[in-house]
Each structure stands twice: as structure tokens, then as C-alpha cells.
């Protein structure tokens, strides 16, 4: 094999919340060929696949994860422009993609300044913020699985609110965004405004995994609903529901994944009891469930 397979890599090092036990296997493929090789290796051993990205939007079991965990690097994290099309590796940071687009005077990615993840992760969950999401800018994505590789359009990916039709063993290796010319100063102004709004309402300088729950089809969003339930500042172990925004959990003192899960279970219980709403988690649970 040309791609190295690590054993027992602690996932706490690879997640923004800073929790999670060891992965059975961990690989950092740098090309489509290495990614295909890693997926074939896992398929032969009947190991499930987890792609970690930058480690946001992920909560991994304290006891570890019996899976091959992937972090796309090298050629799979590059960004380049071709006219009004921005091509990014699945592991490319959204911040880098936005920077390249802005420098070229291409608009459409401004909303991604609020999403601390990667191009591939954005496709997988149809990430969005401030009224836009991946489905609005995605032209197509190269998806690699044990069965092979192929380009899929946004429609073929089944993008809907914070979800796609991708299976766990289908990995987004490359992404193509269709952007539109826009004055650089307008892009900068919009991004500055969105960043300021985010800092004013979210715990951007704390260890979190991002939004906990998807917004329900109800009058109140998840954060407002949980705030009304009196959950701001509610703490279990080393984890606390953010005093700034109730749809975030902060690691304030050596939190464990179990602490975070306990907060999520209590949040769902209170929302169910008070509003009759069953909140659906937005964070990806790896090696665990809420029930």
C-alpha cells in the first residue's frame, strides 16, 4: 500500500470539541488513488468509514471507533480556479476556498465564512448559513466508494436541508463550485458583516463541534427553543450548554463525549416536554447514539 494506515489514533486530537477515543485505523490519503486504496483496505476488513474533515460537526465515542477514519490531505485539499468554476479537494478548508474566490472577484461562497469545515463535509451535510447552502453553488462532486469513483450533480447527491443521500463509505474527493463575478469590496463587506454577526451570537472562541440540533419545522429555532427551556449555562461534567447560544455545547473543563451526549439527551427531553418537538441532531455521531 502507498497510503499509511495508523492504528489507535485518538480522535480527541482531530475533533474541534476535543473528545473521542482511538480509531481502529486512521489514514491520510493525498490523492484519489490513495483514497481508493484506503477504502478497498477497509472494505476487505469490513471496517466502516468515517471522514473527519477539520473535525467540526463530529462527536466520537469515548471508547473509540471501530472504523477507518480518513482525513483528506495533499492533492485532496487543494483549491484552484478555472474561470467562474472553483475546484477544491474534499479536504480543502472552506476558509481557503472563500479566500481564493474573493481574491478572484467571485461571489457565492460568502455564507461559508460561518462554516468551519471542508468542501467535502459541506457536500455531505449540505451545509448552510445565512440563507444559503451548498446546493446553491455546487456544480458536481467526485465521489469515491469501494465500488468505484464518479462525478455526481447536486440533484444526484440528493441535497436537502442539512443532509445528502451519501452513504458513510462514499467519500467526497473533489468539489466544483459554480460562482459568479462580484466586486471584491462587496464580497469583503458581506463577509465582514456575517463574521461580526456570528461572533456576536455564537461562541466562536470556545471549543465546540458547531450546531447541536437542526432547526425544527416550528416557530422557534433550536437555539431559541432551548434557551426558553432554561438551558443556557446548564452543565454536566466538563461540558456546558453555551451561555451565548443554547444550540452549542462548549468543552470548558476536560469534557467527555458522554458529557456532551448527556446534555443533548436533556435538551431533547425538555424540548419534547415543553413544545412537543423531537429535535434532530445536526452533529454527526460516530460510534454512539442518543438513545
- At 1 the pLDDT is 76
Q: Find the mean pLDDT for residues 51-61.
A: 95
> What average pLDDT score do residues 208-220 get?
94
Catalytic-role residue among 211, 242, 250, 267: 211
pLDDT at 289: 86
Q: Is the pLDDT of residue 291 over 80?
A: no
Over residues 53-61, the mean pLDDT reads 95
Contact 243, 232 (CB under 8 A): yes
Residue 276 has pLDDT above 90, yes or no: yes
How confident is the prediction for the chain on average, in pLDDT? 96
What would the mean pLDDT of 86-112 be, rounded to a whole number? Answer: 98
Q: Is 44 a catalytic residue?
A: no
Instruction: Give the cell for residue 119.
Output: 468542501
Based on the residue annotation, tell me whether 31 is a catalytic residue of this protein. Answer: no
36 is catalytic: no
- Taking residue 148's Cβ as centre, other Cβ atoms within 10 Å add up to 9
pLDDT tens-digit series, residues 58-76: 999 999 999 999 999 999 9
Q: What is the percentage of the chain residues whose pLDDT exceeds 70?
A: 100
148-203 pLDDT per residue, tens: 999 999 999 999 999 999 999 999 999 999 999 999 999 999 999 999 999 999 99
Which pLDDT does position 290 carry in this prediction?
A: 82
Measure the CA–CA gap between 206 and 249, rounded to whole angstroms.
Answer: 9
Map out the domains of the chain with their CATH numbers. Answer: 5-73 (3.30.43.10), 75-200 (3.30.465.10), 203-286 (3.90.78.10)
The pLDDT of residue 205 is 93
**pLDDT confidence tier of residue 121, bands split at 50, 70 and 90:** very high
**pLDDT for residue 218 is more than 90:** no
Q: Which of 136, 162, 178, 198 is catalytic?
A: 162
Cell numbers placing 96: 481557503
| pLDDT one-digit tens code per residue, 247-264 | 999 999 999 999 999 999
Q: Look at the pTM and tell me if it is higher than 0.75.
A: yes
Q: What is the pLDDT of residue 232?
A: 98
Amino acid at each position: 500500500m502507498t497510503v499509511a494506515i495508523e492504528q489507535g489514533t485518538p480522535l480527541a486530537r482531530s475533533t474541534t470539541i476535543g473528545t473521542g477515543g482511538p480509531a481502529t485505523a486512521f489514514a491520510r490519503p493525498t490523492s484519489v488513488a490513495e483514497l481508493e486504496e484506503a477504502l478497498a483496505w477497509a472494505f476487505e476488513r469490513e471496517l466502516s468509514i468515517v471522514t473527519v474533515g477539520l473535525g467540526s460537526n463530529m462527536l466520537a465515542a469515548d471508547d473509540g471507533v471501530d472504523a477507518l477514519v480518513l482525513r483528506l490531505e495533499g492533492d485532496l485539499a487543494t483549491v484552484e480556479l478555472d474561470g467562474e468554476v472553483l475546484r477544491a479537494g474534499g479536504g480543502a478548508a472552506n476558509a481557503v476556498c472563500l479566500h481564493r474566490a474573493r481574491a478572484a472577484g467571485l461571489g457565492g461562497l460568502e455564507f461559508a465564512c460561518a462554516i468551519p469545515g471542508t468542501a467535502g463535509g459541506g457536500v455531505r451535510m449540505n451545509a448552510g448559513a445565512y440563507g444559503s447552502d451548498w446546493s446553491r453553488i455546487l456544480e458536481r462532486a467526485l465521489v469515491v466508494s469501494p465500488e468505484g469513483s464518479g462525478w455526481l450533480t447536486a440533484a444526484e447527491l440528493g441535497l436537502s436541508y442539512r443532509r445528502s443521500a451519501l452513504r458513510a463509505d462514499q467519500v467526497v474527493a473533489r468539489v466544483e463550485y459554480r460562482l459568479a463575478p462580484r466586486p471584491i469590496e462587496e464580497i469583503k463587506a458581506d463577509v465582514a458583516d456575517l463574521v461580526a454577526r456570528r461572533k456576536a451570537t455564537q461562541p466562536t472562541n470556545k471549543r465546540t463541534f458547531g450546531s447541536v440540533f437542526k432547526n425544527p419545522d416550528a416557530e422557534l429555532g433550536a437555539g431559541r427553543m432551548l434557551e426558553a427551556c432554561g438551558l443556557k449555562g446548564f452543565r454536566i461534567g466538563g461540558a456546558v450548554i453555551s451561555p451565548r447560544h443554547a444550540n452549542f455545547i462548549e468543552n470548558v473543563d476536560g469534557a467527555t463525549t458522554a458529557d456532551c451526549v448527556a446534555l443533548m439527551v436533556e435538551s431533547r427531553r425538555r424540548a419534547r416536554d415543553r413544545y412537543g418537538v423531537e429535535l434532530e441532531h445536526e452533529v454527526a455521531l460516530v460510534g454512539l447514539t442518543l438513545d
